[in-house]
Chains A and B, each alone.
Chain A
Amino acid sequence: MTLVDHSTSPDLVGPPHSHGPRRDAAPLLPDPEPVRVLGTEAAAAFDPELARDLHRRLVLARRFNQQATTLTRQGRLAVYPASTGQEACQVGAAMVLRPQDWLFPSYRDTLAVVARGVRPIDALTLMRGHAHCGYDPYEHRIAPLSTPLATQAAHAVGLAHAARLRAAANPAADEQLVALALVGDGGTSEGDFHEALNFAAVLRAPVVFLVQNNGYAISVPLARQSAAPTLAHKAVGYGMVGRLVDGNDALAVHQVLSDAVEHARSGRGPVLVEAITYRLDAHTNADDATRYRSAGEVEAWRARDPLTLLDAHLRAQGLLDDAGAAELARAAEELAGRIRAEFEAAPEPDPATLFTHVYAEPTSQLRAQAAELAARLADEADDPGDDPFHLDGDEFDSDNLTANDLTADGLAAGGVDDRGPDAGAGTTRGGAA
Chain B
Amino acid sequence: MSPTTMVGALNAALRDSLRDDPDVHVLGEDVGALGGVFRVTDGLAAEFGAARCLDTPLAEAGILGTAIGMAMYGLRPVVEMQFDAFAYPAFEQLVSHVAKMRNRTGGRVGLPITIRVPYGGGVGGVEHHSDSSEAYYAHTPGLHVVTPATVADGYGLLRAAIASDDPVVFLEPKRLYWSADPPGGTEPAAGATSGAQDQVAPIGRAVVRRAGTSATLITYGPSLPICLAAAQAARADGLDLAVVDLRSLVPFDDETVCAAVRATGRAVVVHEASGFGGVGAEVAARIGEQCFHHLAAPVLRVTGYDIPYPPPMLEKHHLPSVDRVLDAVARLQWEQ
Contact = CB atoms under 8 A, between A and B. Distances in A.
B57 to A, nearest CB: 5
A266 interface: no
Interface string B53-71: 0101101011011111111
A378 interface: no
A159 B72 contact: yes
A359 B166 contact: yes
A429 B296 contact: yes
Contacts of B291: 418
Nearest to A420: B262
Contacts of A154: 61-62, 64-66, 68-69, 93
Interface in B262-315: 262-266, 289-297
Interface stretch (A42-50, A130-138, A242-250, A288-296): A130-138
Interface stretch (A59-67, A108-116, A360-368): A360-368
B72 A137 contact: yes
A195 B70 contact: no
Most buried by A among B100, B108, B204, B293: B293
B148 to A, nearest CB: 20
Interface string B98-114: 00111111111110000
B69 A159 contact: yes
B66 A161 contact: yes
Nearest to B69: A158
B173 interface: no
A294 to B, nearest CB: 35
Interface in B37-88: 50-51, 54, 56-57, 59, 61-62, 64-75, 77
A408 B292 contact: yes
Most buried by B among A148, A163, A169, A427: A427
Given A132-B103, A359-B144, A427 B262 contact: yes
A359 B69 contact: no
Interface stretch (A257-265, A312-320, A321-329, A350-358): A350-358
Given A360-B166, A412-B293, A418-B290, A137 B108 contact: yes
Contact of A162 (B73, B204, B296): B73
A148 B97 CA distance: 9
Interface residues of B, number: 67
Contacts, number: 191
Contacts of A428: 264-266, 294, 296
Interface string B4-21: 000000000000000000
Contacts of A90: none
Contact of B51 (A3, A131, A198, A429): A3
A158 B102 CA distance: 17
A154 to B, nearest CB: 2
Nearest to B143: A359
Given A159-B70, A199-B62, A433 B292 contact: yes
B251 A418 contact: no
A95 interface: no
Nearest to A426: B263
B22 interface: yes
Given A154-B68, A155-B69, A412-B293, A191 B105 contact: no
Given A148-B96, A364-B251, A428-B296, A358 B103 contact: yes
B142 interface: yes
A156 interface: yes
Interface string B253-269: 01100100011111000
A419 B293 contact: yes
A139 to B, nearest CB: 8
A416 B50 CA distance: 55
Nearest to B65: A154
A154 B142 CA distance: 20
B75 A162 contact: yes
B291 to A, nearest CB: 5
A133 B104 contact: yes
B92 interface: yes
B109 A137 contact: yes
A422 B293 CA distance: 12
A365 B61 CA distance: 30
A143 interface: yes
Contacts of B72: 137, 143, 155, 158-159, 162
A429 B109 CA distance: 48
Contact of B70 (A131, A158, A202, A364): A158
Interface string A405-416: 000100010001
Given A132-B103, A198-B57, A357-B107, A429 B293 contact: yes
Contacts of A143: 72
Contacts of A148: 92, 96-97
A136 B292 CA distance: 46
Most buried by B among A144, A148, A161, A202: A161
A157 interface: yes
Given A162-B70, A165-B51, A428-B296, A151 B102 contact: no
A179 B101 CA distance: 18
Most buried by B among A160, A169, A194, A199: A199
Contacts of B266: 428
Contacts of A137: 72, 105, 108-109
Nearest to A6: B50
A415 to B, nearest CB: 12
A195 B107 contact: no
A78 to B, nearest CB: 15
A256 interface: no
Interface string A138-182: 100001100010010111111111110110010000000001000
18 contacts: A4-B51, A132-B104, A151-B65, A151-B93, A154-B61, A155-B69, A158-B66, A162-B69, A162-B75, A199-B59, A358-B142, A359-B144, A363-B204, A364-B254, A408-B292, A427-B263, A429-B265, A432-B292
Give the 3 A-B residue pairs with the shortest CB-CB distance, closest first.
A158-B69, A154-B65, A428-B265
Given A136-B105, A157-B69, 13 more contacts: A4-B51, A151-B92, A158-B72, A161-B66, A162-B70, A194-B59, A198-B57, A199-B65, A357-B107, A358-B141, A359-B142, A423-B293, A433-B293
Interface of A: 3-4, 6, 131-133, 136-138, 143-144, 148, 151, 153-163, 165-166, 169, 179, 191-192, 194-196, 198-199, 202-203, 353, 356-360, 363-365, 408, 412, 416, 418-420, 422-423, 427-433
Interface of B: 22, 25, 50-51, 54, 56-57, 59, 61-62, 64-75, 77, 89, 92-93, 96-97, 100-110, 141-142, 144, 164-166, 204, 250-252, 254-255, 258, 262-266, 289-297, 333
